[in-house]
Chain A
Amino acid sequence: MIEVNKAGEVWVFAEQHSGRLEDTPIELLSKGRELADQLGVKLAAILLGNGIDDMPDRLGHYGADKVYVAEHPLLEHYQANSYTKVIYDLIHKHKPQVVLFGATPCGRDLAPRIASAAKAGLTADCTDLQIGRHEIKKTGQVYDNLLFQIRPAFGGNIIATIINYDRWPQMATVREGVMPMPEANGTRKAVIVKETAHISSEDLPLEIIGQHIEEKKVNLKGARIIVAGGAGVGSKDNFKTLWDLAHCLGASLGATRAAVDLGFVDHDHQIGQTGTTVRPSLYIAAGISGAVQHISGMSDSQKIIAINNDPNAPIFKIANYRILGDLKEVLPKMISAIKEKV
């Protein structure tokens, strides 16, 4: 067990594959910076790999004070066992108080294994992190400066704030896209700390036979306007009108899980708890009833237009513009109104 260490640093796992730094650690550095400043401690990135190039400098530009670097030929490709061993050793040595991972397939594979080895608490898929105080009512004992790990639970129907006060580090995975990307500051420099990785081929139990990575064709995270459809759109054919609207707005096309499951659009377009989290300036929700699983992925949109023929659809509760009507009539009207004005 790792004991409580109030002077411990805030750490961010710098996920990279084939020399390419993922977006999530950069997003985490913005939140990590906030937390570290509040706690008055250093923010560090943990970078494992083989041939890490200019990644430590970039992590510095995005807010890391320090980068712990473990380079080893056996760390070239991610594996849960080898990465757990190296990161666990680092945690043991430096006793950070907070360790954050992106809730990516890799982060969700790795973080629980490390938490188990460290016998530490871990909260999955956080949508927010804060520093706060906790009081145990029965004993009156107060814990200050704890990491509040905030996440939707119960299928997104409630928001739970999770803490761990007696066994550290406080670990969390954080959903992709929920923290804004920080601006790079080319003059910021991080201290680079070289670490030795004590691993052997026995720590690589998996043989990776083949791999296929697809470039994301759909850019939802960076989209300024999103036109999204749900099951209420009715058919793949009806979805064409959404494509048309998206086209004339220069918007990206999004969809609910239901619409994806019905085969109206490809999985890449999915927004919500099991898809991408988005925060555009304008979100046009057509035929989306507003299940919590979907809303949790788009409720931070600045403006929301909802088009639905059910006056009781929950989406209307968060919409800025409520259009009660048939989307087959409303969407063409929107398209011509936009074409006329723009």
Chain B
Amino acid sequence: MAYNCVVLVKQVPDTKRITGEAMNEDGTVNRGALPAIFNPEDLNALELALDIKDKFGGTVTAMTMGLPSASAVLRESLYRGADDAVLVTDRRCAASDTLATSYILSCAVRKLKCDILLCGRQAIDGDTAQVGPQIAEKLGLPQITYVEDLIDISDGAITVRRGLGNGWQEVKAKLPVVLTVLDEANEPRVCAGKRLMKYKKALSPAEIQAMGKDTDIDTDAYSKELEEKGLLIKQWDLDFLEADMQWCGRDGSPTKVHRIQSVVLAAKGSKDVEATTEGITAMVHDLIEENTIA
């Protein structure tokens, strides 16, 4: 029995590597100064899908919503073993919150055959963990969040172990199903050399268009050439998805930003303590005096 897996992946700024240069004078984040990376837990979701394909057969399609530059994470998915890649891109997707994003992605997933829809538990730019469950609701599918291990797939049902923070739960659900995957689930495989050589030439139509502006390349002919070689990344816009615009972008997003503040680190009253016996003894004495240490 073979299964069609669709993996939702996201290109994110590497928030774990924020240094002084990535912060503006006013304390806001300069996104441009951060490297764009494959959202870490989406790599675990992709690995789980590839593992399912290795064990049971079937296909793995990687899908992302974002700017044309997000094609990079689709190429990376192809290097690692995905069979197909879909870029959902449209200016009207801009300013989508998690609700609008999940609506748009659910429209896109409907265009595919999908037995198992996977995504990382959360993306490191927002850390919300909302899009997975929201897509599941939109598609009317059961969700299994925090998946840490695949146990079995048989008779049209999947059994997994999910983390509960203070323990775990083993659950079984009939397919189709939505899984959100934890980083504990597996160790993502590295990019395969041969696949990298092949798919590094893969491009989305939007990227080819952009190339056409800088060079005198015949974009139509080039697209055709890539398509024949299986190197043209599928690109869908909101018209193709037949999405209802009232649920997309800014209009489709109930949450708005009222204010952004920088994190100001400051202590109320602080002093330097010499790392000597005298210095430390005096500090301990202070803390006992004021009853902080009983």
Contacts and interface: CB of A to CB of B under 8 A. Distances in A.
Nearest to A225: B293
Contacts of A120: 99, 254
A252 B41 CA distance: 31
A40 interface: no
B255 A206 contact: no
B143 A109 contact: yes
A273 B259 CA distance: 21
A241 interface: no
Contacts, number: 250
Interface string B232-272: 00000000000000010000011111111111011111111
B188 interface: no
A142 interface: no
Interface string A234-266: 000000000000000110000000000000000
A162 B143 contact: no
Q: Which bucket holds chain A's interface residue count?
A: 35 or more
Contacts of A189: none
Interface string A261-296: 000000000000100000001100000001010011
A119 B269 contact: no
B130 A124 contact: yes
A330 interface: yes
Interface string A305-342: 10100000010011111111110011001100110111
Interface centre among A117, A134, A167, A209 (most CB of B within 10 A): A209
A211 interface: yes
B277 interface: yes
A109 B145 contact: yes
A150 B81 CA distance: 40
A217 B80 CA distance: 40
B258 A162 contact: yes
Chain A binding surface SS class: mixed
B56 interface: no
B281 interface: yes
Nearest to A302: B292
B127 A273 contact: yes
A216 B169 contact: no
A193 B145 CA distance: 31
Q: Which bucket holds chain B's interface residue count?
A: 35 or more
Interface stretch (A26-34, A91-99, A153-161, A178-186): A153-161
B128 A124 contact: yes
Contacts of B42: none
A155 B16 contact: yes
B254 A322 contact: no
Nearest to B140: A81
B134 A295 contact: no
A318 B260 contact: no
Contact of B292 (A119, A303, A333): A303
Contacts of B273: 305, 321-323
B293 A338 contact: yes
B262 A158 contact: yes
A166 B262 CA distance: 27
Contacts of A111: 130
Contacts of A166: 254
B97 interface: yes
6 contacts: A105-B163, A105-B165, A124-B129, A157-B29, A206-B173, A317-B265
The 3 closest A-B CB pairs, nearest first, are: A325-B275, A155-B15, A121-B254
Interface of A: 80-81, 84, 104-106, 108-113, 115-117, 119-125, 132, 134, 146, 148-149, 152-167, 205-216, 224-225, 249-250, 273, 281-282, 290, 292, 295-296, 299, 302-305, 307, 314, 317-326, 329-330, 333-334, 337-338, 340-342
